[in-house]
Amino acid sequence: MFNMNIRFFNATIGHMKQKRTFPFIRVTKKQENRIRNGHPWVYADEITEQTETIENGSFTDVFGQKGNWLGTGFYSAASKIRVRILGNNANEKFDDAFFQRKVRYALQYRIDTMGEDFSCCRLIHGEADGMPGLTVDRYENILVSQIASYGMEMHKDTVYQALISQFADMGIEIAGIYERNEDDLRAKEGLPQYQGWYGDKHPDTCITEITENGIRYEVDVENGQKTGFFLDQKYNRLAVRRIAANRHVLDCCTHTGSFAMNAAMGNAASVTAMDISETALAMAAKNAGRNSLKIAFRQGDVFEVLPQLRAEHAHFDLIILDPPAFTKSRRTFRNAFGGYREINAEAMKLLPRGGYLATNSCSHFMPKEEFMRMLLEAAKDAGVQIRLVEVRGASFDHPVMPAVPETEYLKFVLLQIV
C-alpha cells in the first residue's frame, strides 16, 4: 500500500465545493466506477493510496485516481469492506444532525409504505437507509438493534436517541432497545459480540406480543431468530393465505408457524407444520393455540421428511418451503444450489397436478436468476412442468437498492404444477 502526503493530495482537489478534512483513500478506476454507479462499499484490495494512519471507525474521504472526491464513509481497519460510504454531498458535515436526519427519513419511509403495519416492521435496513451495517426492527414499543460495522457502533448513541426522541414526537414511548450484537460479522469488524438491553430503561422481560396480518405472535427478542421474528415475509404470508382455502397444506421449516397460521386463517382444509427444531415446534404450537388455529405438527429434517411423506402417500396440494439460508458465501454456492434443487424437486414430486408450491431463499448469494434456474432443474428432476403464479421479495420495510444487489436477498416464488 502506498502512502501519500495529505497536503499534496488536497492540492489536487481544488475543484471541490469544500476542502475535505478527514483522512483519505484513493481507489482504482474499477472501484470508482462501482461507486459512481451507486454501490457504497470500498474493498481493501481496490485501495491504491491512503493516509498513513486511519483510526478504525473514523470518517474517511474516498477519491478517484484523478483526485475527484467520491464520498465520505466509515473506515473499517479489519474488514475486507474497508470503507462504507455514507454520502457524497461535499457540504455535508457528517455530524449528529446528519444521523438524526437519516433516522427521520427512515421512519418517514416506513410511515409512508407500511401504513397500519408500522407498529411492527423494520425501521432501519442498513445500506438501503444510508446507515451501513445497522438493522433496527420494531415490535410495538420495543426496538431490536443489530450493528455490524465499526463506524455505526461509534455513533449508535446518536441514532438510538434520535429514534426514542422522534417516536416521542409521534406520541409513542419506546420501552427499551435490545441489542442483538452476537453476529459473527462483528468479529470481522474487530467488534465485541454481546447482547442485552441498551441503557438503564427497559422492560423486565424480553418477551413481547405482536400482531401481524391479524395473527398474534409471542416474540422473544433475546432468543428468537435474527431480531426475534422474520418480518420480511409479512406480505408473502398473505400470498399463501389467498390460495389456501380448501387445500391440504404442508409448511416446511415452519419456525414460529407463521406461514402455517396464515394458511389456517385462509380456511385451509388441513395444515401440517414441520420443523427440525423441537423448540421451534413448541413455539409454533403455542402461537397456534394463542390464535385458536388447528394445526398438526411434525418434527424432522426437510430433506428426510419430504421423501417419507411421499412413501406414506400423504396428500398435500399446497407446500411451503422456507428453509434457512443454505449459503452465506460464494464458496458454498454450488452445494447450496444442490440443496435447494433437492428439496424443491421432492416437494414437486409430492404435489398433484394443479398443486401449488411457495418456495423461498433468503440468501443474497443465491441471485434471483440462479434461483429460477434451480427451479427449472428441480422440475426436470421431478418430471413435472411448472408455471409461475407470482414472484415476490421482502416487504416494503426492507427496501432494495438496485445498485446494491446485496439488499435484494429474499426470493419468494409461488408456482403451480401443470
Instruction: Identify whether the C-beta of residue 219 lies closer than 8 Å to the C-beta of residue 207.
Output: yes
pLDDT for the residue numbered 19: 53
Instruction: Identify whether the C-beta of residue 397 lies closer than 8 Å to the C-beta of residue 125.
Output: yes
Q: Is residue 219 part of a domain?
A: no
pLDDT for the residue numbered 11: 40
Query: Same structural domain for residues 244 and 347?
Result: yes
Task: Please say which residue of 87, 106, 129 terminates a domain.
Answer: 87
Angle between helical axes of 258-265 and 278-290 (0-180°, round to 10): 30
Query: Same structural domain for residues 152 and 276?
Result: no
b vs e for 243-281, b when ≥16 Cβ sit within 10 Å of the residue's Cβ? bbeebbbbbbbbbbbbbbbbbbbbebebbbbbbbeeebb
Q: Is residue 212 part of a domain?
A: no
pLDDT for the residue numbered 14: 42
Q: What is the mean pLDDT of the chain?
A: 92
Task: Please say which residue of 68, 87, 106 terminates a domain.
Answer: 87
At 125-183, the pLDDT tens digits run 999 999 999 999 999 999 999 999 999 999 999 999 999 999 999 999 999 999 999 98
CATH number at 384 reads 3.40.50.150
Q: What are the residue numbers of the active site?
A: 362
Query: Same structural domain for residues 250 and 371?
Result: yes
At 236-294, the pLDDT tens digits run 999 999 999 999 999 999 999 999 999 999 999 999 999 999 999 999 999 999 999 99
Task: Evaluate the CA torsion angle 139, 143, 144, 146 in order and state its sign.
Answer: positive
pLDDT for the residue numbered 5: 46
Q: What are the residue ranges of helices labelled H in 333-397? A: 333-350, 368-382
Q: Is residue 221 part of a domain?
A: no
pLDDT for the residue numbered 328: 62
**Residues 6+ positions from 89 with CB-CB distance below 8 Å:** none
Could you tell me what percent of the chain has a pLDDT over 90?
85
Q: Is residue 209 part of a domain?
A: no
Q: Which of 118, 114, 153, 117 is nearest to 133 (CA)?
A: 153
* Residue range 375-402: mean pLDDT, rounded: 97
Domain range for residue 48? 2-87
Query: Same structural domain for residues 180 and 248?
Result: no
Q: Is residue 216 part of a domain?
A: no
Confidence grade of residue 13 (pLDDT, cut at 50, 70, 90): very low
pLDDT for the residue numbered 332: 74
Task: Please say which residue of 69, 87, 105 terminates a domain.
Answer: 87
Query: Same structural domain for residues 38 and 63?
Result: yes
pLDDT for the residue numbered 356: 98
pLDDT for the residue numbered 329: 62
Query: Same structural domain for residues 72 and 113?
Result: no
Query: Same structural domain for residues 291 and 322?
Result: yes
Confidence grade of residue 71 (pLDDT, cut at 50, 70, 90): very high
Residues in a beta bridge with 202? none
CATH number at 172 reads 3.30.750.80
At 316-375, the pLDDT tens digits run 999 999 998 776 666 777 888 899 999 999 999 999 999 999 999 998 888 899 999 999
Q: Is residue 81 part of a domain?
A: yes
Residue 15 has pLDDT above 50, yes or no: no
Query: Same structural domain for residues 269 and 407?
Result: yes
pTM of the model: 0.91
pLDDT for the residue numbered 7: 41
CATH number at 17 reads 2.30.130.10
Number of structural domains the chain divides into: 3
Query: Same structural domain for residues 163 and 294?
Result: no
pLDDT for the residue numbered 104: 98
pLDDT for the residue numbered 17: 40
Could you tell me what percent of the chain has a pLDDT over 70?
94
Query: Same structural domain for residues 394 and 306?
Result: yes
Query: Same structural domain for residues 190 and 252?
Result: no
Q: What is the DSSP string of 267-334?
A: T-SEEEEEES-HHHHHHHHHHHHHTT---EEEES-HHHHHHHHHHTT---SEEEE-PPPS-SSGGGHH
Instruction: Identify whether the C-beta of residue 340 lies closer than 8 Å to the C-beta of residue 303.
Output: no
> How many residues are there in the chain?
418
Q: Is residue 320 part of a domain?
A: yes
pLDDT for the residue numbered 331: 73
pLDDT for the residue numbered 1: 43
Q: Is residue 42 part of a domain?
A: yes
Query: Same structural domain for residues 18 and 145?
Result: no
Confidence grade of residue 102 (pLDDT, cut at 50, 70, 90): very high
**Residues 6+ positions from 386 with CB-CB distance below 8 Å:** 348, 357, 375, 376, 379, 415, 416, 417, 418
- 308 is written with which cell numbers? 417419507
